[in-house]
A and B are shown apart, each in its own frame.
Chain A
Amino acid sequence: MSQHTSETHGEQPGAAHAPPAGHAHDEHDHGHEHPSYVAHHFDSAQQQFDAGKLGIWLFLLTEVLFFSGLFCAYTVYRSMRPEVFVYAHYFLDTRLGALNTCVLLISSLTAAWAVRNAQLGETRKLVTNITITILCAFTFMGVKYVEYSHKFHDGLLPGPHFHPTEQVWELATFRNKHPEAAEYAERLTKQAEEAEKAKGADASAAKPAEGPKFELPTREELEPLLHAGVLGERAENPRVPSRPRNAHVFFSIYFFMTGLHGIHVLGGIGVFIWLLLRARKGEFHAQYFGPVDYAALYWHLVDLIWIYLFPLLYLIH
């Protein structure tokens, strides 16, 4: 992605200008009248800026459509298997997600501020704001790294690699929210284990006394477990608390969406480093600030996609 972006932006630097009145289509205008920042095939800085702006908006449109396939897949699977999404969201750390949201919002502010600096020709402030943007992007990736390593460690991986080390009711996120349900799930699991043990010890003996050894839970207490597909017809094992079938699909979508978004963040880092190098040389000023503007627009889109990803993945009710 970074390549595409920088290509879009990259059109600016070599490019050309003519006095706004002259739609110079003949060769005589080459070189002398065109400032170095206007490419030869453009008549004016304004035309070049407008072309770049339309280009970046179209590029962002393709980006939105590129992600739309994943958002569509998300919608389809969430409507088909709502319980998987409820189950899986307990495994995500909302605090880290919220932290990353804040980090990206700050970086969007500094990116927008950088455009203003470029327009006013404030090179020092421009360099500062670009630097903060880059640092925020790195922070985002750092937090993402922490989150990903937790997932890897806990076996929360897509497809056949999905082997969670913990049951959902053992998680603090679940316990805090639904203590009764968690306790019930635990007791039921224990009971099933004991039954299994008794069966193993004396297979020929009569079945151990049936019936609950504890009070029957209320419908309300069970609700969270049914919601998360731990019990009921959508669970892998209808008798014992387990997990919903095809729970791994959530993590497929989670890694695909956040991974692709992460690649776009990395691309953005590349673009902003390139801008930083150019900004330090004082290349941007009131007549030529297109690349900063375009990069900021790209960055806002990357931010915006995260603004959608955060609630869709982390804040499932």
Chain B
Amino acid sequence: MASPSTTADAAIPRETSADESYLTHDKGILSWIFTLDHKRIGVMYLCSVLSAFALGGLFALLVRTELLTPGRTIMDADTYNQMFTLHGAIMVFLVIIPGIPAALGNIIMPLQLGAKDVAFPRMNLASYYLWVIGACFMLSSLVINAVDTGWTFYAPYSTTTQTAVVPAAFGAFILGFSSIFTGLNFIVTIHKMRPPGMSWFRMPLFVWALYATALIQVLATPVIGITLLMMIVERTLHIGIFDPALGGDPVLFQHFFWFYSHPAVYIMIVPAFGVVSEIIPVFSRKRMFGYKFIAVSSLAIAFLGFLVWGHHMFTSGQSVLAGTIFSAITFLIAIPTAIKVFNWISTMYKGVIHLETPMLYALAFLWVFTIGGLTGIFLAVMSVDVHLHDTYFVVAHFHYVMMGGAITALMGGIHYWWSKAFGRMYEEKYGRIAAALVFIGLNVTFFPQFILGTRGMPRRYYNYLPEFQSLHQLSTIGAYILGLGFLMTAAYLYASLKNGKKAPANPWGGSTLEWQTTSPPPYYNFHNAPPVTQGPYDGYEDLEFDEKMGGYVAKATKATP
């Protein structure tokens, strides 16, 4: 069904306009501050999110360093509590939730739809500034008297501790609206801005994943908004909704909190599925296997994700019946997730696999995410969870999913679309080394934590028994390797902006629409409307590598230069 000639026409970047891009369209700092262009907003998001990632990572390294020895290593117990709280809050609210959707999604999703922009560009910019304001509030807590409640803000501790909970919680409240704005924008964009020819089942899987994510963002985030607002009011006016001393119910807080925060886990991981779904077929040079199943399984995960929040509360006195139901629905989520993993592997089967950096990250994702996902099933079993609850096993599990899943995919996505966003190629050799370091670091950091957890090491503890020391030290060494990997990534990505090779339109041979415009794209994204005549992963056979351009071009046109 693919008509090679149409693909070919669109695939040639126009030499004449090659230097005009969204990056050079307007000049000056104000043209960035007030930009309504989705790509620029995405780039601003990317820079901000990566800065927050560096800060959150620094806190993580401090926490791991403290745990090198039992008792005091470099900081006192209160500071330690503040450090892990800030690490968690920054990584969840400032990095992983906005990471893939707001940063990569903003840059790439309208391109993949062949649209000029998202549906509401001003709301998009407002979303970014809400992120900035939320980040300022959250960081102001750091300066005043850093919050020490853990990122979960559990009442009644959060309503009574002396630390600056209100700015941190208010920051998270504002970040929630930032997230809602992005989600709302994406849903409307995907519904209303698709080009003719792009039916729902011709959308790239990244778009499908962002759509499922956006639904969760819109449906779950308001609940955390009102919950944090209630917690803030509880703390300031003592209204007695959560504080048991005033007749409140602290478990109600947990219900409200997890009603958002469990779906929020899928806000973090579903876009990661989307990125991996883009990378795997392109680097396997093979059509996506089970495209429809992957697309629909994102929605299934989004839906089921709303029904499982109680599995965070197996030990907080909820009824056995409720626990059983939550447990059973949690098992169900394994099905759509496994569908994705099997389809990705089937796509690679008999493919021509190219092991460039994005693919290395995608493969790393398959490995670590599968471990993270399967250990989640352990925790969904009520009888097992009673023992593993609040141990390092839980810490290891969610870091395998969040760090190993979401961050690995974010890295894969950044490498995959770096050339498209900035028009430069990073140094492939360094990319591969850093990817290997991150993969090794991840496993060395978090695998020992599974063992620590099963042996009874509780999470968030400052001190521990001497027999845990060797595993703690191994974990800390892993964290340093991770830090090194990310430092190296930052260095070569930055260097590529300065003196990287100019990127061709299609360096990896993707057939989704974003590869049919120049790198970086012009202000209005496309010089010519790209026609959509085939599915997003069709037509690899019509592309071939052009040594001179360093990228893929359509076969038909190569003969007539």
Interface residues on B, range: 35 or more
- A contacts with B: majority SS: helix
B136: min CB distance to chain A, Å:
17
Name the A residues within 8 Å of B121 (CB-CB): 11, 39, 41
Give the contacts of B255-269 with A (CB-CB under 8 A): 256
Most buried by A among B114, B117, B119, B524: B119
B527 touching A26, Cβ below 8 Å: yes
Chain A interface residue count, Cβ-Cβ cutoff 8 angstroms:
50
Q: Are B193 and A51 in contact (CB under 8 A)?
A: yes
- Beta-carbon contact of B238 and A69 below 8 Å: no
Binds A, one of B218-226, B411-419, B479-487, B504-512: B218-226
Does the CB pair B119–A61 fall under 8 Å?
A: no
Partner of A55, one of B117, B119, B126, B238: B119
Residues of A within 8 A of B126 (CB): 3, 7
Please, which residues of chain B bring their CB within 8 A of the CB of A50?
192
Which chain A positions have C-beta within 8 A of B249? Answer: 76, 80
The answer to whether A27 touches B246 (Cβ under 8 A) is no
Contact A246 B247 (CB under 8 A): yes
From A49, which residue of chain B is reached at the shortest CB distance?
B192
For A62, what are the chain B residues with a Cβ–Cβ distance below 8 Å?
Answer: 180, 184, 218-219, 221-222
Main secondary structure of the interface of B (DSSP, over half): helix
A155 CA to B188 CA, complexed, in Å? 47
Residues on A with beta carbons closer than 8 Å to the beta carbon of B246: 159-160, 246, 248-249
- The docked-state distance in angstroms from the alpha carbon of A27 to that of B17 is 13
* Distance in Å: Cβ of B514 to nearest Cβ of chain A: 14
Query: Which residues of A are found within 8 Å of B114, using beta-carbon distances?
Result: 25
In the complex, A47 has a CB within 8 A of chain B: yes
> What's the least CB distance linking B81 to chain A, in Å?
27
1/0 per residue, CB under 8 A from A, across B198-221: the answer is 000000000000000000001111
Question: Whose C-beta in chain B lies nearest to the C-beta of A160?
Answer: B238
| Interface residue A148 (Cβ < 8 Å from any Cβ of B) | no
* Distance of A117 Cα from B437 Cα, bound (Å): 65
A256 touches B223 (CB 8 A): no
Q: A4-B177, A26-B526 known; A54 and B188 CB under 8 Å?
A: yes
Quick one: which of B83-127 are within 8 Å of A by CB?
Answer: 114-123, 126
Instruction: Flag whether B325 is at the interface (Cβ < 8 A).
Output: no
| Proximity bits, B392-406, A CB within 8 Å = 1, else 0 | 000000000000000
Which of the residues B177, B222, B241 comes within 8 Å of A249, measured between beta carbons? B241
Q: Which residues of A line the B interface, CB within 8 A?
A: 3-4, 7-8, 10-11, 14, 23-27, 30, 39-41, 47, 50-51, 54-55, 58-59, 61-63, 65-70, 72-73, 76-77, 80-81, 158-161, 245-246, 248-249, 252-253, 255-256
Complex A-B, nearest 4 residue pairs according to Cβ-Cβ distance, in ascending order: A246-B247, A25-B529, A252-B239, A69-B226
